[in-house]
């Protein structure tokens, strides 16, 4: 019997993407994969321009999930609770029963669930005699912060609601860099998420396999610390092999938005290392004033740019660019609503990436050797910026003014330092070096490749 993994992502683009990459990797190791999604995301993926061949040996299934808009803190809380109910343990139990009753020869043999979907799942796995692995789509350091946060409360470093007692840059964990107090990854979402993070640590601790979309070489100290408590297996960066071995690929990755591939033709016409790529992932939103300020900054650089302006990028309404902007930059700018980001980052014309520091974007940028200008927005993005800027030295921060606004002058200054100065040259060279290290991690004999093989072998062995 072939191994059959049931994959359970948190149904959001930033989590579905890496879980899809994992599905692909499993399939190329003779697994059959059932990929469970929420109805709404399932339909979005299938209606996007994803080729059918992507789904060879990956079966997509879905269940209805009632999630109201998650644009408030209460909304996020409700969303997590809705998932716990509509895609939670009893639903998973039913899904497994249905698959196994229908397919005697292709029963589920293991479960891999996003860490956010693991709550209460172990008893279901035990009931069906299946190994359960957790998948963390963000850095090991994020999980470590959550895991040790109760300890930080007991030491008196954090209040019981997760707010730091002192408002200064602090080394919260010896194996991690110092963080600004405002950079703690739960602060944006309030006490509920702080407590949920602590519970996540408790829930994950007994799980033998915790897979991370990261690689040892960029987080070695924190991997070593956390490994004393939890089964940490970094298997990233989870980038399709086509992008690692060649610069041109026809592979189109599944996406919730329709990719505007026309921007690739535009990139072909640009000089090497000349284009500023700007994208804030799938969730970040800017105020109207900030969007205007950014547009003016982009214009003032006088450089070619590719900018992803999602229709919902602007807070509250359809994104609006300043009057006359498009005319003024027509000869050197390309604006799309969703870019094929991996193809873009691997294009030789890209000089730098203005990013919100979502973990997938950071991993992709590292793997393609592109230096970053960091503009974090929420969740782990401030933590990721600290690593990009302070630890790996692959980018520069864009600093907000006292009203929280990144001004056009700051934007221009960041671009100029990164692309023209001695400091920028060092950063760009660092990016080229880490690109090789990242790719080595997933090659035969590399750290992530070894971890993945250990996991695959264990999942296959328990079939006998």
Stretch that binds ligand UDX, among 11-19, 83-91, 366-374, 440-448 (CB under 6 A): 11-19
CB-based contacts of 54, cutoff 8 Å, min separation 6: 24, 254
Q: What span, in angstroms and rounded, lies between the C-alpha atoms of 119 and 88?
A: 8
Residue 251 CB, nearest approach to ligand UDX (Å): 12
Stretch that binds ligand UDX, among 48-56, 243-251, 282-290, 366-374 (CB under 6 A): 282-290
Do 46 and 263 touch, CB atoms closer than 8 A? Answer: no
Site for ligand UDX in 289-348 (CB under 6 A): 308, 338-339, 341-342
Residue 156 CB, nearest approach to ligand UDX (Å): 29
Residue 381 near ligand UDX by CB under 6 A: yes
Residue 50 CB, nearest approach to ligand UDX (Å): 12
Stretch that binds ligand UDX, among 52-60, 263-271, 374-382, 448-456 (CB under 6 A): 374-382
Q: Which one among 204, 379, 398, 434 touches ligand UDX, defined by CB under 6 A?
A: 379
Residue 367 near ligand UDX by CB under 6 A: no
Tokens in use for 89? Answer: 């343990």
Give the contact letters, 14-53, x = binds to ligand UDX (CB under 6 A), - = no. Answer: xx-x------------------------------------
Residue 164 or 281 having the CB closest to ligand UDX: 281
Residue 258 or 328 having the CB closest to ligand UDX: 258
Q: Which one among 114, 364, 407, 410 touches ligand UDX, defined by CB under 6 A?
A: 364
CA-closest candidate to residue 41, choices 15, 71, 5: 15
Residue 283 near ligand UDX by CB under 6 A: yes
DSSP string, 357-401: --HHHHHHHHHHT--EEE---STTHHHHHHIIIIIS--EEEPPP-
Residue 67 near ligand UDX by CB under 6 A: no
Q: What span, in angstroms and rounded, lies between the C-alpha atoms of 277 and 307?
A: 6
Strands of the sheet containing 58-63, edge to edge, are 58-63, 32-38, 4-8, 110-114, 132-136, 209-212, 232-234
Strands of the sheet containing 395-397, edge to edge, are 333-336, 305-308, 275-279, 350-355, 372-374, 395-397
Residue 380 near ligand UDX by CB under 6 A: yes
- What does DSSP assign to residue 464? -
Q: What span, in angstroms and rounded, lies between the C-alpha atoms of 290 and 316?
A: 13
Residue 141 near ligand UDX by CB under 6 A: no
Residue 380 or 410 having the CB closest to ligand UDX: 380
Residue 219 or 380 having the CB closest to ligand UDX: 380
Residue 360 near ligand UDX by CB under 6 A: yes
Q: Which one among 34, 109, 138, 290 touches ligand UDX, defined by CB under 6 A?
A: 138
Residue with the two structure tokens 């700007």: 278
CB-based contacts of 432, cutoff 8 Å, min separation 6: 369
Residue 459 CB, nearest approach to ligand UDX (Å): 25
CA-closest candidate to residue 397, choices 349, 357, 346: 357
Residue 412 CB, nearest approach to ligand UDX (Å): 23
Residue 386 near ligand UDX by CB under 6 A: no
Residue 89 near ligand UDX by CB under 6 A: no
CA-closest candidate to residue 2, choices 22, 25, 32: 32
Residue 34 or 279 having the CB closest to ligand UDX: 279
Residue 219 near ligand UDX by CB under 6 A: no
Total residues at interface with ligand UDX (CB under 6 A):
25
- Across 222-337, the runs of DSSP E, i.e. the strands, are 232-234, 275-279, 305-308, 333-336
Residue 279 or 408 having the CB closest to ligand UDX: 279
Q: What span, in angstroms and rounded, lies between the C-alpha atoms of 218 and 7?
A: 26
Q: What span, in angstroms and rounded, lies between the C-alpha atoms of 164 and 263?
A: 44
Q: What span, in angstroms and rounded, lies between the C-alpha atoms of 438 and 384?
A: 16
Look at phi and psi of residue 199 and say left if phi exceeds 0, alpha if psi is from -120 to 50, else beta: alpha
Residue 225 or 259 having the CB closest to ligand UDX: 259
Tell me how many degrees the CA angle 129-134-138 measures, rounded to the nearest 5. 170
Residue 65 or 284 having the CB closest to ligand UDX: 284
Residue 186 near ligand UDX by CB under 6 A: no
Q: What residues line the site for ligand UDX (CB under 6 A)? A: 13-15, 17, 137-138, 255, 279, 281-284, 308, 338-339, 341-342, 358-361, 364, 379-381
């Amino acid at each position: 019997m072939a191994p059959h993994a049931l994959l359970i992502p948190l149904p959001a683009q930033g989590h579905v993407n890496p879980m899809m990459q994992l599905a692909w990797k499993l399939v190329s190791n003779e697994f059959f994969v059932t990929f469970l999604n929420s109805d709404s995301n399932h339909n979005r993926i299938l209606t996007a321009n994803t080729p059918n061949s992507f789904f060879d040996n990956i079966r997509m299934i879905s269940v209805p999930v009632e999630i109201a808009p998650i644009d408030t803190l209460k909304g996020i809380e409700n969303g997590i609770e809705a998932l716990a109910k509509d895609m939670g343990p009893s639903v998973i139990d039913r899904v497994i029963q249905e698959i196994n009753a229908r397919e005697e020869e292709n029963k589920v043999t293991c479960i891999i669930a996003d860490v956010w979907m693991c709550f209460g799942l172990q008893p279901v796995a035990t009931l069906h005699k299946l190994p359960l692995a957790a998948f963390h789509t963000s850095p090991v350091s994020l999980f470590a912060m959550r895991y040790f946060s109760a300890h930080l409360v007991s030491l008196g470093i954090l209040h019981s609601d997760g707010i730091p007692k002192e408002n200064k840059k602090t080394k919260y964990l010896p194996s991690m860099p110092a963080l600004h107090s405002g950079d703690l990854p739960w602060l944006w979402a309030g006490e509920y998420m702080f407590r949920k993070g602590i519970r996540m640590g408790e829930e994950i601790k007994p799980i033998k396999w915790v897979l991370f979309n990261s690689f040892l070489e960029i987080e070695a100290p924190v991997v070593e610390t956390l490994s004393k408590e939890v089964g940490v297996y970094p298997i990233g960066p989870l980038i399709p092999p086509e992008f690692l071995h060649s610069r041109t690929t026809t592979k189109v990755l599944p996406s919730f938005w329709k990719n505007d591939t026309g921007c690739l033709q535009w990139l072909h016409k640009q000089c090497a290392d000349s284009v500023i790529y700007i994208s804030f992932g799938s969730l970040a939103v800017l105020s109207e004033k900030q969007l205007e300020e950014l547009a003016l900054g982009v214009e003032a650089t006088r450089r070619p740019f590719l900018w992803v302006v999602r229709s919902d990028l602007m807070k509250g309404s359809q994104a609006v660019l300043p009057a006359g902007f498009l005319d003024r930059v027509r000869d050197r700018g390309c604006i799309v609503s969703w870019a094929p980001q991996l193809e873009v980052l691997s294009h030789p014309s890209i000089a730098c990436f203005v990013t919100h520091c979502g973990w997938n974007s950071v991993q992709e940028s590292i793997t393609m050797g592109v230096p970053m200008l960091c503009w974090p927005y929420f969740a782990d993005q401030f933590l990721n910026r600290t690593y990009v800027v302070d630890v790996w030295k692959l980018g520069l921060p864009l600093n907000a003014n006292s009203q929280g606004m990144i001004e056009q002058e700051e934007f221009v200054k960041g671009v100029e330092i990164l692309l023209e100065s001695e400091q920028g040259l060092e950063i760009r060279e660092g990016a080229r070096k880490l690109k090789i290290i990242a790719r080595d991690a997933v090659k035969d004999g590399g750290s992530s490749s070894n971890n993945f093989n250990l996991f695959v072998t264990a999942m296959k062995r328990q079939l006998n």
